[in-house]
Structure 1
Amino acid sequence: MIQNIPLERVLFLDIETVPQAGSWNELSETDQYLWDKKTRFQRKDDVSAEEFYDRAGIMAEFGKIICITIGMVEKNETLKIKSFSGHDEKKMLQEFGEIFNSPRLYNVILCAHNGKEFDFPWIARRYLINGILPPAPFQMFGKKPWEVPHIDTMELWKFGDYKSFVSLELLAHVFGIPTPKDDIDGSMVSSIYYIEKDLQRIVDYCEKDVLTLANIFRRMRQEDLLKRNINLD
């Protein structure tokens, strides 16, 4: 039962991603060819590879991470939050990876919404692409499913119903948690990053998602909502 999981061991996590380039014309011919080939069967017949490029932010081979936000619960029922963000993805990933050298994060349990399908593999893939070994919690090769210390709130909500998809926003609504989508949503991140050049707005959005994620997990455990505190040491 999830009530038996030590809450102080859970690292709540969310990432924000964008296409590697701000526009189709900035891509090399090779990248354009491979994107066309990769997405050929995902696009409708009347949608070109160029028109479909705004979806590149959901594929680790063609996107990049611009923000990782984490949160951990303190004894006083406060969620302490820390964000890693920037235009230099490799530097950001290196800084994020350093937190796992802390004794406090020994045997940490990762938690994200749709994390097993998106956040966790995305992070691991981008580490490898940047020539860095992924931190230990993201290395799953050779492990049995029950040996992987990952929690996915979407998976918890499915109760074995693998046809079902539920958004973080919808779960927040049904649990009576203030919505994290009060400013932007995921579809706007790329334009805010490349056109408005407002990275801080994206960081704020990611931090709200982590607080919402932690509170959804709390509600699933029949526990009260958490307060937010920035700067996790």
Structure 2
Amino acid sequence: MLEQYDLSNLMVLDIETVPQYSNYDDMPDALQEHWAHKTQYQRKDDTPKEFYDRAGIWAEFGKIVCISVGIFTNSGGNRPGLRVKSFAGHDERELLADFSKMLCSQPLSLILCAHNGKEFDLPYICRRMLINGVTFPPHLQIQGRKPWEIPHLDTMELWKFGDYKNYTSLSLLTAIFNIPTPKDDIDGSQVGYVYWVENALERICTYCQKDVVATAQLIRRYRGEALIEDESIRIV
């Protein structure tokens, strides 16, 4: 499947998010009240403070610290390649503005693709852009468009084949499609700690880039094509 798409016109992306504040006590009192109300069903027996390490999941209480993108290329001799770039930093508004500027320089026909991107990555980016006063690039302007006019692909949605009860992680799909992925020293649940406690943004970028590569390789598998070789993947 996906044979109808020109891979050179497709951009793969992934984001990493963290809580807006380093700890619960730094959050303004008004937001603490909203946090308690917003998470009352998810946190079960945890107090709002104990549950705060999950705040990065919600755009109202988190922020983006890295957006990594990948573009399919030819690396010579018609060999498939991938070029990966990250937008990362402590200033979220600057990060989002740079990402928006990059997208605005791309053709309007460009298709954005992410794993669970329609439920998480793309809405999160839009919400944080709105909060930070960053102008939406045309590729994220979906209001008023018919579903088939929206230039977004979601590798998790594609795997559902219409089954709305199904959630399949990127990690599981890479395993069943025999896509080799290096063992990471962190996982998604640890990103907030790595950012706020260890101040290791570079590690987070590496983790984010690996998800972009894994998603790109999954697209190749969906199309019944060979994987991109490691030497043809370039980080810029």
Q: TM-score range by the shorter chain?
A: over 0.9
**Aligned residue type for 2:58:** M
Out of 18-27 and 73-82, give the one that drifted further: 73-82
Contact preservation (8 Å) 1:180, 1:209? no
Whether the 8 Å contact between 1:180 and 1:212 is mirrored in structure 2 is no
After TM superposition, the structure 1 stretch with the greater mean CA deviation from structure 2, 131-140 or 4-13, is: 131-140
- Could you tell me which residue of structure 2 aligns to residue 35 of structure 1? 35
The TM-score, its normalising length taken from structure 2, stands at 0.94
Distance 2:61 2:219 in 1: 31
In structure 1, what is the equivalent of residue 21 of structure 2? 21
Deviations 1:129-167 (A, max 9, x none): 001222111111001110101100000111111111111
Q: Provide the residue aligned with 2:54 in structure 1.
A: 55
> What's the offset of the Cα at 1:41?
2.2
TM superposition score normalised by structure 1: 0.95
In structure 2, the CA distance between the partners of 1:180 and 1:167, relative to structure 1 (3 Å rule), is farther
Q: What count of residue pairs does the alignment treat as equivalent?
A: 229
- SS of equivalent residue, structure 2 residue 112: strand
Aligned to 1:7: 7
Structure 1's unaligned 5+ residue stretches are none
Report the equivalent of 2:84.
Answer: 81
> Which residue number corresponds to residue 166 of structure 1?
168
Match of 2:97 in 1: 94
| Cα separation, partners in 2 of 1:167 and 1:181, compared to 1, 3 Å | farther
Over 4 Å off, 4+ runs: none
State the shift of 1:169 in Å: 0.6
Kindly, what percent of the aligned residue pairs are identical? 52
* Deviation of 1:181 (Å): 4.5
Contact 2:104–2:138 at 8 Å: present in 1 too?
no
Give the SS at the match of 1:223: coil
Tell me: CA distance 1:120–1:96, structure 2 relative to 1, closer, same or farther (3 Å): same
AA in 2 matched with 1:10: L
Matched residue of 1:50: which SS? coil
Q: 1:114 touches 1:152 (CA, 8 Å); kept in 2?
A: yes
Secondary structure of the residue aligned to 2:90 is coil
Q: Secondary structure at the match of 2:84?
A: strand
**Structure 1 counterpart SS, 2:119:** coil
1:134-153 aligned at under 5 Å gives the runs 134-153=136-155
Deviation at 1:182, TM superposition (A): 2.5
Which stretches in structure 2 are left out of the alignment for 5+ residues?
none
Contact 1:99–1:105 (CA<8 Å) still a contact in 2? no
Q: Distance in 1 between the 2:207 and 2:140 partners? A: 24
What is the CA distance between 1:93 and its match in structure 2?
A: 0.6
Deviations 1:204-232 (A, max 9, x none): 1111110000000110000111131112x
Contact kept? 1:113, 1:153, Cα under 8 Å: yes
Give, in angstroms, the shift of residue 51 of structure 1.
1.1
Change (3 A) 1:150 1:180: farther
CA RMSD of aligned residues (A): 1.1
Equivalent pair of 2:100/2:135 in contact (CA under 8 Å): no
- Taking the aligned partners of 1:140 and 1:217, their CA distance within structure 2 comes to 23
Q: Which amino acid aligns with 1:58?
A: I
Q: Secondary structure at the match of 1:116?
A: helix
Q: Return the offset for 1:99.
A: 0.9
- The separation in 1 between residues aligned to 2:180 and 2:20, in whole angstroms, is 32
